[in-house]
Structure 1
Amino acid sequence: MGAGRARPSRPAPTLGCMTAEPTALSAGERPSGPEEIPWAMQLVVLRDKHAMAREVDVCEAAARAVVGLLDDERCAPGGPWYAAVRRWVDGGRIRKLVRRADGKRWDDVQALPGVLVTQDGPDGFGPARVRALPPGPVRPLPRALAKLQVSGTSFPPERVSSSADALAIVEATPLERITSGKLAAQCAHAAQRLYETADEARRASWRADGFRVEVRWPGPDEWAARPRPVSIVDAGFTELDGPAETARALWRSEP
């Protein structure tokens, strides 16, 4: 689903699982050193055709799952995920791949280490369920992951969030056509960068709120007129035709 570049507005603090240094690489650039096999954080989303989740809920659940994983004590120094997250972040990219699963394939993924977020939808829609896994090389993959598809993941394009009181806001571009899977990755990139630039008091408040986010789609005029503290630029190697800003993030308390 590509990787992201952020432009935070304040110095980056030291986190439990990483030192949050904003990367200077664009969304698809390679780090300067050779790396034979790229690393990525894998996200698996439940796609139940009998109870489809809304696109907005999938994007919000993906953002929550990623931030929840990075905040997890297993990412702290000495924890079992610390080295993997450290390598992923230090590589200069925050690549994420969103895969879809249902039925037994979804059940099989639950045996893998990670963080699961379930976000209920309104009447008429199923819950959004996303499992974020610790970063690792994109190949070889555990069998439960390798058989899951990445491209073409779509959900009903319902875009009215039920999280209008969330502390964090992610804005999705109104200028590009993006599949639900890629959009979920871009929203997760933005939420990750917002977490990295937050001080401990802000992170503690967000943690107490379950890392909820409100995903919005501003109109083109608002998008052009109001830059945000965090901005994600995708390099355009997959769905987009060239580099494009895909998502932004801010705190609700910010103007």
Structure 2
Amino acid sequence: MSSGGGDALTALTALEPLAARVCPWATDRPAPELDEDPDGPVRAMPVILRLEKQDPPTPTALLEAAAAAALALCLDERSARGGEWFDEVAAWCGAGRIRKLARRARTSHWRAVQEVPGVTVSDLVRALVPGPVDDVPHEVRRLQIGGTDLPDDEPGPVPAGEPVIWLNPRVEQSTGKAGAQVGHASMILATVLAWTGGDPHRVTAPAVRTASTSDWDVWCAALEDPEAAWTRYGVAPVRDAGFTEVAPGTVTCIGQVAAGG
């Protein structure tokens, strides 16, 4: 275990509970209880996608902004210990699952949601401070969850050396679903980096691409030993809880940095 990065992340953000779940081999902290209190609140991070009727973004631009926004909120100084968002973010990260709920907005609704506490990236995605799913502001509650699909684009190769989030090439996901998943991936990748002695801020602007089936199969086979997969390929997975669109346990995407972090 490398404690330097983990200590830095603990001091900076409320992400600490994730380490014991996503890289238990890198920390001696006990894993939190995964079975949430059935009588307690279900918490989620609202992720607002800007989808204007005229000149909508490409899916790649939207997903890269979603990945960046989710992590930016967690690394924001307001999410640090003593910050105004710390309690909400820590409670969410300490829950059984880091749920995200993507909604779409445009025009006046997009402008209105800028007043709700959160972080906006590229004027395309706003990640909001997580909280109970049944207690969201009016500006968020009125936004639709469906209708987030965008036509495919061809973003080209990943720039050399950049962290990347690879989408599962064998599973169909709506743009909204994928937006939530890449947000999970950026958080997980930053956490594993931190607890293995790396810099979590390396992941603040990840590329998003669909993996080739050959690479995907190699990485998924390697994930049988997560520590070895990280050391050899620099990969960390997102496994879906199965509430929407995909079966429980599906690896929806994989975050990757240079092998070994």
Tell me the equivalent position of 2:206: 213
Q: From 77, 80, 101, give the equivalent of 2:81.
A: 77
* Aligned mates of 1:182, 1:33 — CA distance in 2: 25
Q: From 246, 250, 254, give the equivalent of 1:244.
A: 250
When you count helix as a share of all residues, which structure comes out higher? 2
TM-score, normalising length: structure 2 = 0.80
What displacement does 1:166 show? 6.0
Which segments of 5 or more consecutive residues in structure 1 lack a partner in the other structure? 1-8, 119-127
Kindly indicate whether residue 92 of structure 2 is the aligned counterpart of residue 88 of structure 1: yes
Query: Contact 2:191–2:200 at 8 Å: present in 1 too?
Result: no
* Aligned mates of 1:13, 1:246 — CA distance in 2: 26
**In structure 1, the residue corresponding to 2:199 is in which secondary structure?**
helix
What displacement does 1:185 show? 0.8
**In structure 1, the residue corresponding to 2:120 is in which secondary structure?**
strand
Tell me the equivalent position of 1:21: 19
What displacement does 1:71 show? 0.8
| Cα distance change on mapping 1:161 and 1:254 into 2, 3 Å | farther
1 or 2 for the larger relative contact order (CA 8 Å, sep ≥6)?
1
* Aligned mates of 2:54, 2:176 — CA distance in 1: 19
Q: From 149, 156, 161, give the equivalent of 2:151.
A: 156
**In structure 2, the residue corresponding to 1:79 is in which secondary structure?**
coil
TM-score, normalising length: structure 1 = 0.82
The count of corresponding residues between Structure 1 and Structure 2 is 230
What displacement does 1:49 show? 1.4
**In structure 2, the residue corresponding to 1:70 is in which secondary structure?**
helix
**In structure 2, the residue corresponding to 1:21 is in which secondary structure?**
helix
Which segments of 5 or more consecutive residues in structure 2 lack a partner in the other structure? 23-32, 221-228, 230-234
Aligned residues with identical type, % of pairs: 30
* Aligned mates of 1:30, 1:106 — CA distance in 2: 34
Query: Contact 1:166–1:214 at 8 Å: present in 2 too?
Result: no
Tell me the equivalent position of 1:203: 200
What displacement does 1:36 show? 3.4
- 1:46-94 deviation per Cα after TM superposition (whole angstroms, max 9, x unaligned): 0011011111111110010011111100011110000001100111211
| Cα distance change on mapping 1:130 and 1:32 into 2, 3 Å | closer
Tell me the equivalent position of 2:55: 51
Kindly indicate whether residue 163 of structure 2 is the aligned counterpart of residue 168 of structure 1: yes
* Aligned mates of 1:225, 1:136 — CA distance in 2: 37
Query: Contact 2:166–2:253 at 8 Å: present in 1 too?
Result: yes
What displacement does 1:235 show? 2.5
Query: Contact 1:44–1:98 at 8 Å: present in 2 too?
Result: yes
Q: What amino acid is aligned across from residue 169 of structure 1 in structure 2? A: V
Q: What amino acid is aligned across from residue 240 of structure 2 in structure 1? A: D
* Aligned mates of 2:208, 2:44 — CA distance in 1: 23
What displacement does 1:242 show? 4.2
Kindly indicate whether residue 88 of structure 2 is the aligned counterpart of residue 100 of structure 1: no
What displacement does 1:177 show? 0.7
Query: Contact 1:23–1:93 at 8 Å: present in 2 too?
Result: no
What displacement does 1:252 show? 3.7
Tell me the equivalent position of 1:124: none
| Cα distance change on mapping 1:220 and 1:192 into 2, 3 Å | same
**In structure 2, the residue corresponding to 1:226 is in which secondary structure?**
helix
Query: Contact 1:46–1:130 at 8 Å: present in 2 too?
Result: yes
| Cα distance change on mapping 1:239 and 1:159 into 2, 3 Å | farther
What displacement does 1:30 show? 6.2
What displacement does 1:241 show? 3.8
What displacement does 1:157 show? 1.5
